[in-house]
Amino acid sequence: MKTIVILSLVISSVIGCSSETKPLEFKPVEIKSDFKSNISGLYEVAEGNDAISSKLNSQIESTIIDMIGIDTTAADLATALRAFDKTYTDFIKDFPDASEPKWELNVETEKTFQSEDVITIAISVYRFEGGAHGNDEIRLLNINPKTGELLPAEAIIEDLKEFESLAKSHFIKNLKRKGEDLSIEDYFFGESFHLPENMGFSEDGFILLYNVYEIASYAQGYTEFAIPYDEMDPYLKLF
């Protein structure tokens, strides 16, 4: 079972507040139901301003549904979980002699950062649907706490092209720190360096995270590192 590990550090929440707006609070919700497959999880839901919380929770839930991947049009998470379980039971019916272990699905979320301007939520989904190994993925959602809407990279970073140069230098430092005997071209399959799909905030710096298969081989696992905020200051539109 894969759990969220970001830079192998224990990330605590950074909570900013103002006299005008009470910060949203989060509570954990455990996935518990009678499934034939092994389905488990613990995810956070926002409480407080009803309209904003509802929008934010919808962003989290729709992302989890998309990461599960069985029924991306599911109306809610419960429906997506049932679809995963039904796919497993249908497989067992079609192949009763199959010796594969039970399918697994694990969902976890973690709020890694919260301020007046941004909330970052890390979502981890691990899926095992037979075969040699399972598949896991982490996504970082940067959310506007005033609206509940997702913040694109352009709303966070002042100049993405200039920022890419800084990110590349830290990517190289990370390779050297890990003692990897691979070049950037090896990681990017002969192409030039590019920013990851997932970037976000934590107490320890601005996170850049490449998922398995996004770069390098499966054996390399995740590639993740943080850029200190003193270096990020010229590039951040919000913090």
**The two three-digit tokens of residue 237, written as one number:** 């539109």
Most confident of 105-114, 131-140, 174-183: 105-114
Q: Report pLDDT digits (tens) over 151-167.
A: 999 999 999 999 999 99
Domains of the chain: 1-151 (3.30.565.40), 156-239 (3.90.640.20)
Confidence of residue 3 (pLDDT cuts 50, 70, 90): low
CA-CA-CA-CA dihedral for 161, 162, 166, 167, to nearest 10: -20
8 Å CB contact between 28 and 44: yes
Whether the model pTM is above 0.75: yes
Q: Report pLDDT digits (tens) over 176-228.
A: 887 777 778 788 888 889 999 999 999 999 999 999 888 877 777 889 999 99
